[in-house]
A and B are shown apart, each in its own frame.
Chain A
């Protein structure tokens, strides 16, 4: 076969492949679009949108702080507190599970793999679902939200921790074993000092996510600023929705900036 024929054949094969992919994609989209039940946009959509935009332009500043009772500052502080207490709980849970799941710390494949299984189970559970369950246990409020974030973040943190441990240099651990250190001492002198910056960076990253999650927990009654937001939406007080959203954006932005500055400094 001449070279030109071979080229032609290769091109035809490539075109065939692209055609199959295209047909597949079209089929998927036809299925997706045809299946969406389109009930029409409610006629209030226009005015509501206008009101929301108006709410953003002239937000309800008086809601920011009121000496008695519910206000934005308290809602945001509660959100922050949920995220902080939640991340603390996740660290306590994720460090042992992360070490358990790291394949270079355990002798048998089954041990680390079962740890990984536990982590991926918790990673697929949405924080919100966990919050709904914890509300049934400790009642509605911020405590339920904190427990949900604590357990929910464990899956991701543990996975990040395990990856950090798996990427470390085995040398220092070996040298502690060589001087007669037991497992705990190998961990304290060989593993932890090496992985600490990575652990801190992963924790900060997850804290950024926690802030966003904590802001939504109130929507289902698990504390934080989301509670005020859902009431404001239900009460159609759009100027209040505006100020709450602005508050969330500002606080999350500040946390993001601080966290990424810290992360840059560590690594």
Chain B
């Protein structure tokens, strides 16, 4: 369970990223966060695994505060949280397998990982993860040789190998075409239902949010302005979140799905 209590974030340039956010996200939920760019979606996501330090408030992951965690505790909490980025963030020159194995670094002692001596169990786990996202045959390929969709599946495989209990996905489909977008979303949904992994995802396309999630959170200027089921998220609600009616490019469109 993830709890955010009175979380605020003010950036050093005075911009308010988040303002008094209170949320409780239960295990196994598939939560989409929607809002205009600059509404604080990324800030919210990155606060959860403390890639961004919040200014005030407290965030608890499974009853443990990540806000006040020591360096070591922080790494242990992060070990259970997978993250998927818009730009994939793979090391392009490294092999696919090494990128997936990098999800296991926090389970092993530093020296072992530096020498690239992962236990066989970890290698098996990584290979299985690649098979689950259907790119096992690319295990020893350089990541740079993969297409965008395949690269994003490598980063999903990394969270699988990581045995993450929570997956944070920051606009994971923004650099992908509609077909691969759907594949990536299906992969995430599968992991969510089969492994009971909590998924929190920032989405640009509101129709994707409605189709895949069990809960939608709307952000506006750092504040939560909507929190409900996809059924409750009517076009009027979106109009309120966005402060205007939806634009064409905020819908992926039925014909694409």
Contacts and interface: CB of A to CB of B under 8 A. Distances in A.
A and B co-occur in one complex: yes
A176 B102 CA distance: 7
B51 A193 contact: no
B45 to A, nearest CB: 10
Contacts of A194: 91-93
B110 A182 contact: yes
Contact of B110 (A171, A174, A177, A184): A184
Contacts of B85: 171, 174-175
A179 interface: yes
Given A179-B106, A190-B91, A174 B51 contact: yes
Interface string B73-90: 011111101110101111
Contacts, number: 80
A181 interface: yes
B87 A179 contact: no
Contact of B79 (A172, A175, A179, A188): A179
Interface residues of A, number: 21
A171 B87 contact: yes
B91 A180 contact: no
B158 interface: yes
A185 B93 contact: no
Classify the secondary structure of A's interface with B. helix
Query: In which size bucket is the chain B interface?
Result: 20 to 34
B51 A180 contact: no
Given A189-B91, A196-B93, A179 B78 contact: yes
Contacts of A171: 85, 87-89
A180 B93 contact: no
A197 interface: yes
Given A181-B102, A193-B94, A175 B113 contact: no
Contacts of B155: 175
Nearest to B116: A188
A172 B93 CA distance: 11
B162 interface: yes
Contacts of B49: 178
B251 to A, nearest CB: 28
B91 A193 contact: yes
B174 interface: no
Given A175-B89, A181-B75, 19 more contacts: A171-B89, A172-B90, A172-B91, A175-B158, A177-B78, A178-B51, A178-B83, A179-B78, A179-B102, A180-B77, A180-B106, A182-B110, A185-B106, A185-B113, A188-B113, A189-B102, A193-B93, A194-B92, A197-B93
19 contacts: A171-B85, A175-B158, A176-B105, A177-B51, A178-B51, A179-B78, A179-B83, A179-B105, A180-B75, A180-B79, A180-B105, A180-B106, A181-B105, A181-B106, A182-B75, A184-B110, A185-B106, A189-B98, A196-B93
Interface of B: 49, 51, 71, 74-79, 81-83, 85, 87-94, 98, 102-103, 105-106, 110, 113-114, 155, 158, 162, 168
